[in-house]
Chains A and B, each alone.
Chain A
Amino acid sequence: MRHDFLDRYSRLDSPIHRLPPAVKLVSALALVLAVVLLPPSRPVFLAAVAVVLLVVAALSRIPWPALLWRVALLEPFVLGVAILALFQPGGWRLFVILVAKSTLCLLTMVLLSNTTPFADLLRVLKAWRMPALLVTTLSLMYRYLFVLVDEAQRMQRARASRTFAPKRRRAWRTMATVISQLFIRSSERAERIYAAMCARGWR
């Protein structure tokens, strides 16, 4: 499937991958909270966290370019908000600290999601008493994400193959049609899934 790029590295084999998912989730959370709560006057600690993360990254056997790419994808959002911090006294220092902290947290979460299949995370959340309806929703969402993204792509391709003179207004109407079809099909699929669940005795 073309979308396993969204989930390609979570099932590699490495010492990190083999850790229990609960441990990874708790560690990631703890790390993020530690970084976020840290008062700005301790850059040494941030450096230490960075080293830990780099070691974990190395152990995880995820290709470096992939990791960097994922962090780079999200960095603009960090920078975008951090830039606003410049407009006040002491802005530069605050900017640097914000970007540093946020990027470290980003790297932590990227490492978490790429060493732990989402299904495992979900199981941990379920064990932590997340409400059943939310767990079911997350589970089904994860399962059908790829199916829907695929459908959307196929529909766009089908439209593109019949578009000879791209005009912006047409494009918007077409995209809206694709989205509406996506919802309609999702709605129908949900009914079929309900039937399938009942067929296996869902109560």
Chain B
Amino acid sequence: MSAAIEVRALGFRYGEGTEALRGVSFSIAQGECVGLIGPNGAGKSTLLLHLNGLLPESLKSEGSVFVDGSPVTADTLHEVRRKVGLLFQDANDQLFCPTVFEDVAFGPQQLGLSEAAIRERVTQALAQAGIPGFEARAPHHLSVGEKRRVCLAGVLACDPSILVLDEPSSSLDPRGRRELKELLRQIPITKLIATHDLELVVELCSRVIVLDEGRVVAQGPTVEVLSDEELMLRHSLEKPHALRHLHPH
């Protein structure tokens, strides 16, 4: 079985010459949950945009991205976007329709499904995201956590096989964070989570990739990598509390 996501020697440069990614290589197996960590400015968000074909803008850069074995090119773009559900950092940017229903229905609509099928997908997705019955709600009346869930539902409604999340737990209160963790644990598909929340990584991810200055500086089993205090500190991170105390969580 081919890897869910495979990235080979990916490089990317922003217009005026800032090299954001250099020779990034990794692969994620079907069903794995992998964490992507690194300091601010490491290139995490840029990397995530490549997994959905949003970057590079002309789909021609050094190295390549493969989703389910096929390369991401201009032809496969729409299929890739359906398979790889990308959750952006700012829920406000992603939740752009005037009601929850319309927003979650956006993906299925673009896929050309029938009215009935769309309605069903929306109901299911909202239930999966833990917010059944939110269809008629207006986005500006929702809390940050609720907006995140709507965005998640919007992505799930497209029936993706891979979930890519950018800072899913930021701005959430402790309860919101716990609920998010439970939610993600229950969704069985392949996941890549870019985050500063190292505790979340310990709790959810079996493997971890460390990115700094556009390069992969380490990857491996979560506990092993995150316990390497020197490595963590060197890359503006730290050893998470969950690993400092050796009782099981």
Q: Answer whether A and B touch in the complex at a CB cut-off of 8 Å.
A: yes
**Which residues of A pack against B, CB within 8 Å?**
1, 3-4, 7, 11, 117-119, 122, 139-140, 142-147, 189, 192-193, 195-203
How far is it, in angstroms, between the C-alpha of A135 and the C-alpha of B78 when the chains are bound? Answer: 24
Whether the Cβ atoms of B99 and A201 lie closer than 8 Å is no
Residues of A within 8 A of B97 (CB): 139, 143
Q: Judging by beta carbons under 8 Å apart, are A196 and B93 in contact?
A: yes
Chain-A contact segment, one of B64-72, B133-141, B232-240: B133-141
Question: What chain B residues lie within 8 Å of A122 (beta carbons)?
Answer: 98
Q: How near does chain B come to A151, taking the closest CB pair, in angstroms? A: 10
Q: Is B90 at the interface (CB under 8 A from chain A)?
A: yes
Contacts A1-B141, A199-B86, A200-B155 known; A193 to B110 CB distance under 8 Å? no
Contacting A143 at CB < 8 Å: which of B88, B96, B154? B96
Q: How far is the CB of B119 from chain A (nearest CB, A)?
A: 15
Distance in angstroms between the alpha carbons of A122 and B155 in the assembled complex: 24
Q: Are A201 and B110 in contact (CB under 8 A)?
A: yes
- Distance of A181 Cα from B162 Cα, bound (Å): 37
Pair B141/A197 contact, Cβ less than 8 Å: no
Does B54 interact with chain A (Cβ within 8 Å)? yes
Within 73-120 of B, Cβ neighbours of A (below 8 Å) are at 78, 81-82, 86, 88, 90, 92-99, 102, 106-107, 110-111
The complex places the Cα of A202 from the Cα of B141 at a distance, in Å, of: 25
Contact partner of A196 among B78, B96, B140, CB < 8 A? B96
Residues of chain A within 8 A (CB-CB) of B78 are: 201
Chain A residues closer than 8 Å to B140, beta-carbon distance: 1, 3-4, 7, 143, 145-147
Residues of A within 8 A of B222 (CB): none
Q: Contacts A193-B96, A195-B54: A200 and B139 contacting too (C-beta < 8 A)?
A: no
Given contacts A143-B139, A197-B96, A200-B155, contact A192 B90 (CB under 8 A): yes
Q: Would you give the shortest CB distance from A40 to chain B, in whole angstroms?
A: 40
Q: Are B110 and A119 in contact (CB under 8 A)?
A: no
Residue numbers in B under 8 Å from A146 (CB-CB): 140
What residue in chain B is nearest A190 (Cβ atoms)?
B93
The answer to whether B158 has its CB under 8 Å from any CB of chain A is yes
Known A119-B99, A142-B98: A192·B88 in contact at CB below 8 Å: yes
**How far is B82's CA from A195's CA once the two chains are assembled, in angstroms?**
14
Complex CA gap A7/B82 in Å reads 34
CB of B52 within 8 A of chain A? yes
For B86, what are the chain A residues with a Cβ–Cβ distance below 8 Å?
A: 199
A sample of 6 more A-B contacts (CB under 8 A), given A117-B99, A143-B96, is: A1-B140, A4-B140, A4-B141, A7-B140, A117-B138, A143-B95
Q: A119-B98, A143-B96, A147-B92 are in contact. Are A200 and B141 (CB under 8 A)?
A: no
B49 interface hit (Cβ, 8 Å): yes
Most chain B beta-carbon contacts within 10 A, residue among A11, A117, A189, A192: A192
Q: Chain A residues near B98 (CB, 8 Å)? A: 117-119, 122, 139, 142-143
Q: Which residues of B contact A145 (CB under 8 A)?
A: 140
Selected contact of B82 from candidates A4, A143, A189, A201, CB within 8 Å: A201
A17 CB, min distance to chain B CBs, angstroms: 12
Chain B minimum-CB-distance residue to A139: B98
Task: State the 7 A-B residue pairs at the shortest beta-carbon distance, nearest first.
Answer: A119-B98, A201-B110, A146-B140, A192-B93, A200-B107, A196-B94, A199-B86
Q: Judge whether A193 and B81 touch: CB under 8 Å.
A: no
